[in-house]
Amino acid sequence: MESSSSTERVRFRTQVLARHLHQHVPSQSQSQSLHPSTCLSYSPPELSEPFDFDTRDMRKLMDGHNLEDRDWLFGLMVQSNLFCPKERGGKVFVTPDYNQTMEQQREMTMKRIGYLSDRGVFQGWLTKTGPEAELRKFAFLEVMGIFDHSLSVKLGVHFFLWGGAIQFFGTKRHHEKWLRDTETYLIKGCFAMTELGHGSNVRGIETVTTYDSNTEEFVINTPCESAQKYWIGGAANHATHTIVFSQLNMNGNSQGVHAFIAQIRDTDGNICPNIRVADCGHKIGLNGVDNGRIWFDNVRVPRENLLNSVADVSPDGQYLSAIKNPDQRFAAFLAPLTSGRVTIAVSSIYTSKIGLAIAMRYALSRRAFSLVPNGPEVLLLDYPSHQRRLLPLLAKTYAMSFAANYLKMLYVRRTPETNKTIHIVSSAFKASLTWHNMRTLQECREACGGQGLKTENHVGHLKSEFDVQSTFEGDNNVLMQQVSKALLAEFVSAKKKNKPFAGLGLEHMNKACPIVPSQLTSSTLRSVHFQTDIFCLRERDLLHRFAAEVSQHQVQGESKEYAFIVSYQLAEDLGKAFSDKAILQTFIEAEETLSAGPLKNILGLLRTTYALITMEEDAAFLRYGFLSRENAAAVRKEVGKLCSELRPHALALVSSFGIPDAFLSPIAFNWVAANSWSSVQD
Amino acid sequence: MIGKGRAFCAGGDVAAVVRDISGGRPFSFTVIVPCNWKLGAEYFWNEFTLNYLMATYSKTQVSILNGIVMGGGAGASIHGRFRVATENSVFAMPETALGLFPDVGASYYLSRLPGFFVSSSQVLEKADLSSFIPLQSFQEELTPIFQEKPRLCAQTPTNNNIRLLLTSTQVLLQNDPKTPQNPHLIFQHQHCPFQHVNRHKICNYLHIGDGRYVQTMRELDFIGEYVGLTGARLDGAEMLACGLATHFVPSERLTSLEEALHKVDSGDSMVVSAIIEEFSLLPTLKEKSAYHRLDIIDRCFSRRTIEEILSALESEAEKSKDDWLSLTIQALKKASPTSLKISLRSIREGRLQGVGQCLVREYRMVCCVMRGKVSKDFFEGCRALLLDKDKNPKWEPSRLDLITDSMVDSYFSKVDDDNWRDLKLPARSNLPVHAIAKL
């Protein structure tokens, strides 16, 4: 004991001295050898990474709105033991206990919602309207999604799907009856649209509803196993009511898909007669959400429970609708449901921010390998290869953050005229942003090495929590095909009517085709003008090619639909081109609002990195000759240079994300202390 | 660290700072022009730097708070390792009444006040209770004790009064040999849950019999908002209950405590803690204590804005007539509206930041206050309370609804002055963990 404590003291003293010496060593002379200390000690990156711009200003730009509301909500969560605060390495972190059973996690999600509801977080979520109220709601949903995806999904189902369906598909009588009780959680809603046999293709669902004019009731039925409602969030444990999507069959005539309100549980939580409910079981993520399956056996609901904004049934059984064509009726019906895609796109980008903030902070405090024998080890982020892995993803995340903000604004300021644009842009961004998120998380996980595998460090675990985003509210691939289809329709109609392009950002097609210089210098590559030109050129050219290929198939006698599905390769390239260009555009617009200064400079650097990495990664630039081989090489070289220019700002850039430390993870901070023996003893 | 006379420290000499800023002109005669605000800024620069050094100091600091602890005095003690309260302690952050805001790192410690101790030990987890809420599951066992102590709380145990009880009793967990998975709770009164300091951090432990202890967890509360916004005074017992103090020692034992501390001559926090522990006892909370209103504090002071906090308090007041409620509402209505808004935001931001970030932000804020571009309430408050003593400040803007978001924003932005710079805190590399997180 005695001797071990004295060696302990000697070691301590040596470390103190080493630290004193260390401060006098200029940081650039890394090769200068220091005596390796007996134990690695954590040094907060803040001490060696000065900030060149005000991270508060950058955060304002990133979060865009309701900053104080966000901080209040973060604070509410940090204050409550329901959010499982845990002390690690001298800091408190909040994170759900994913080691709980599925049932426990579901109960915790519900308890957290109760706590937040008691404190007024959901006030006005359904009873207030207008952009201000909607933005506040979005901000809160984003903040809760940063804590736990299950929490935000559970809320999303209740407020955006169940509540949204009543708001948008229902009329006054529904609003008065349901919205207030939904907002206060007197009732818990779910949304039964997808079935075992039908997901993206809602029009094909098999649930059938008929009308009984004697009792003035609708009768809902699940005619076969593939018609069981599947993946219904909230159905397995908590929901008392559901929206049922069903074919409406009036006197043998199918009128297409309609939505009804049905009660599935009583106030004590017992399942109602003629309803059968089963669990979807344990999932790879989102186990705090009780996804279930529902069967309807001649379930009778009052006539008033038809959500009748588009079509109604009179007491005597007359089908009434202003829109005669069932296809159009269906489109009009689903149009308002884009909010789901908007919130998914936005939340995916916040998740990338969590991953990057953690991986970047770790890379700024973890060292590996020395350049000279016995020399100090090199910080991970000082390796150009590590920069190349993380910094382009950071630039993309910035770009997509602006895109997400743009989409949000487009949505909250929607008018009937902008519905089509919102549909297309939200489809494209939802796909691009959620794909980007999965890629970013994987890279961040690997960049954290073994530490990335620990659930408490988030990055690895977030992959399984957010994987679902590429599927729900529209499969990403299907959405991208819809984007290309819509662009093609615009193209065909402009050509047919011989009118200039208007809308969807296609106006550049009215101008002369841009010309890319044959020799790309560094300054050309960094100019907004060039970047815009080449992104427009790519979209324009691919749209022409796609239109040509589809029409060629049609000339050969194939149907339009068939022509479209066989041209999937170009459709994919075109969808990407549209999305990338739209994202770049939002970045440029955000930049334009700033006056010259350090903030604008760093954003310029990020925008160029975004543009060039996109050019480097998408083979279409080379395949269709938008870039020559030499130019492609120049782009690649420039990306490397940009990474080294971004490196000094890495910490400031992730610090601007506005995610409080408590919502990151132990490896983002003092990971030595967080893993010390004494921390095991506690 | 010990105060001279009847106070520990009643705060900085605000009047002197204001005199400096106004160029030495007497107040009563002139409209105050903050021409020399930079002199004041220098004062706060030094004070905040000292606060930071104390907060990150690895040596053990013991502050004996036998008297008034306000403003700057709080900054000089709360950031340290041990804070010993006595029956003479009076704690307050009265800045909002003065047109200032709780500074000296208060946005850090006020936002982290643990309301009480809740056992979240592994023993409880073994009973297969979810990580929180376990207390409710013990309701049956607790009920008899509540009936025994009607003075302390209502007859039926709620989550909140269970917590109250825990601050004044020792929980004994005994394993029933027949059902080892289901520990029974047995309470012993008049014992204090005591602090044990291990090498890296302070933990609160409760005795569970046979010399075994379980770690307790802190449940946080919105009492920081209450204390920071209303300037409410806390006595020694309350300081201990909310964690502002780490120990309570009756003042008559202070001389012996000091002697004992001198005698060991050790900086080891465990040794020091053990010594203070010897002299400590658990005080009872006064009947009128705000601590019996944690439920209301939690419900009202967790609201998003000052306006919402006020209206929540007012609707509570409608439900029940209560002097405490009307005093609290009065305190808020008397304070500078601008101060209230920036203080609330500061505490809310502080809750999510480290102590260094808090001080940097508070420095920005204090410079804005002294420049007086948005509001000159600080000078008006000093005039009315410290110089003219008419206790009738004329706040400007005079109402909460006249203060726009952008006005509040400006207190949190860099000061628009070429020579001004953000507070630069001294580098404290390789700090041990306990040097950063003391509360």
pLDDT in tens, B345-389: 999 999 999 888 999 999 999 999 999 999 999 999 999 998 888
Respond yes or no: is residue A473 known to be catalytic. Answer: yes
User: Looking at CA atoms only, how far is residue B347 from chain A in angstroms?
Assistant: 10
Instruction: Give pLDDT, residue A196.
Output: 98
Task: Tell me if chain A has a CB within 8 Å of the CB of B434.
Answer: yes
Q: Do B433 and A97 touch (CB under 8 A)?
A: no
Of the pLDDT bands very low, low, confident and very high (cuts 50, 70, 90), residue B433 is: low
Q: What is the pLDDT of residue B162?
A: 41
CA angle B49, B52, B55 (to 5 degrees): 155
Question: If DSSP codes are grouped into helix, strand and coil, which group holds residue B231?
Answer: coil
Distance, in Å, from the CA atom of B423 to the CA atom of B359, rounded to the nearest integer, reads 8
Helix, strand, coil percentages for chain B (3-state, nearest 5): 45, 15, 40
For residue B142, pLDDT beyond 50:
no
Report the percent of chain B where pLDDT is more than 90. 41
Phi then psi dihedrals of residue A576, to 5 deg: -60, -45
At A666, the pLDDT band (50, 70, 90 cuts) reads: very high
Q: What is the pLDDT of residue A81?
A: 83
A549 touches chain B (CB under 8 A): no
- Centre a 10 Å sphere on the Cβ of residue B280 and count the other Cβ atoms it contains: 22
User: In 10 A of CB B204, how many CB atoms?
Assistant: 20
Over 60: is that where the pLDDT of B62 sits?
yes
Residue of B nearest to A108 (CA): B130
* Contact A82/B at CB under 8 A: yes
Asked if the model's pLDDT at residue A616 lies above 80, the reply is yes
At B358 the pLDDT is 93
CB contact under 8 A, B130 and A681: no
pLDDT at A397: 98
d(CA A116, CA A183): 12
Any B CB within 8 A of A673 CB: yes
Q: At what angle do helices B355-371 and B37-55 cross, to 10 degrees?
A: 170
**Interface ipTM:** 0.83
pLDDT at position B39: 82
Q: How far apart are CA B340 and CA B1, in angstroms?
A: 32
In this prediction, residue B5 carries a pLDDT of: 67
Task: Tally Cβ neighbours within 10 Å of residue B435.
Answer: 17
DSSP letters along A625-673, please? Answer: TSS-HHHHHHHHHHHHHHHHHHGGGHHHHHHTT---GGGS-GGGS-HHH
The single residue of A473, A490, A616, A638 carrying the catalytic annotation is: A473
Strands A367-370 and A377-379: antiparallel
Q: Show residues of chain A in contact with B222, CB under 8 Å.
A: 79
Mean pLDDT over each residue of chain A, to the nearest integer:
92
Distance CA A116, CA A93 (A): 19
Note which residues in 155-214 of chain A have CB less than 8 A from chain B: none
Question: What would the mean pLDDT of B136-165 be, rounded to a whole number?
Answer: 39
Which of A56, A111, A136 to probe by mutation at the B interface, max B CB count within 10 Å?
A56
Instruction: Work out the average pLDDT over A342-346.
Output: 97
Residues 555-584, chain A: which have Cβ within 8 Å of B? none
Q: Cβ contact (<8 Å) for B349 and A71?
A: yes
Most confident of A10-14, A122-126, B54-58: A122-126
The phi, psi pair for B278, rounded to 5°, reads -60, -35
Looking at residues A231-241, what average pLDDT do you find? 98
* Among B429, B434, B438, the residue to mutate for chain A (most A Cβ within 10 A): B429
Distance CA B254, CA B261 (A): 10
More confident residue, B284 or B109: B109
Please answer yes or no on whether A75 and B111 come within 8 Å at the CB atom: yes
Q: What structural domains and CATH numbers belong to chain B?
A: 7-113+236-288+355-436 (3.90.226.10), 119-219 (no CATH)
- Chain A contact present for B302, CB below 8 A: yes
Of A41, A68, A79, which has the smallest distance from its Cβ to B220's Cβ?
Answer: A79
Concatenated DSSP letters of B150-185: TTTS-SS--HHHHHHHHHHEEEEEE--SS-TTSPEE
Per the CB < 8 Å rule, is A90 touching B217?
A: no
Query: Does A483 have pLDDT greater than 90?
Result: yes
CA B389 to chain A, closest CA, distance in angstroms equals 36
Q: What stretches of B213-305 show up as alpha helix (H) in DSSP?
A: 223-230, 236-242, 254-264, 269-279, 294-301
Instruction: State the average pLDDT for chain B.
Output: 74
Amino acid identity for residue A149 in this structure: H
HEC per residue, A56-112? HHHHHHHHCCCHHHHHHHHHHHHHCHHHCEEEECCEEEECCCCCCCHHHHHHHHHHH
Q: Kindly list the distances between the CA atom of residue A47 and the CA atoms of A43, A200, B224, B352, in Å, as whole numbers in the listed order.
A: 7, 51, 30, 19
Q: Is A214 exposed, middle or buried (0-12, 13-18, 19+ CB in 10 A)?
A: exposed
User: What pLDDT shows up at residue B202?
Assistant: 30
Does the N-terminal peptide bond of residue B397 adopt cis geometry, omega within 30 degrees of 0? yes
- On whether any CB of chain B is under 8 Å from the CB of A111, the answer is yes
β-pair type (A208-212, A253-263): unpaired
Alpha helices in A366-418 (DSSP H): 384-412
Q: Does the distance separating the beta carbons of B203 and A97 come in below 8 Å?
A: no
Q: pLDDT tens, A18-48?
A: 554 554 444 444 444 444 445 677 888 888 8
| Cα of A188 to nearest chain B Cα, Å | 23
A15–chain B Cβ distance below 8 A for any pair: yes
Quick check: A298 and A219 in contact, CB under 8 A?
yes
Residue A407 Cα, gap to closest chain B Cα (Å): 25
Judged by a CB distance cut-off of 8 A, whether residue A89 touches chain B is yes
Chain B residue numbers touching A108 (CB-CB < 8 A): 130
Residues in chain A closer than 8 A to B199 (CB atoms):
678
Q: What is the pLDDT of residue A1?
A: 42
Q: What does pTM read for this prediction?
A: 0.86
A41 min Cα distance to partner chain B (Å): 7
User: CB-based burial of residue A418 (10 Å sphere; 0-12 exposed, 13-18 middle, 19+ buried)?
Assistant: middle
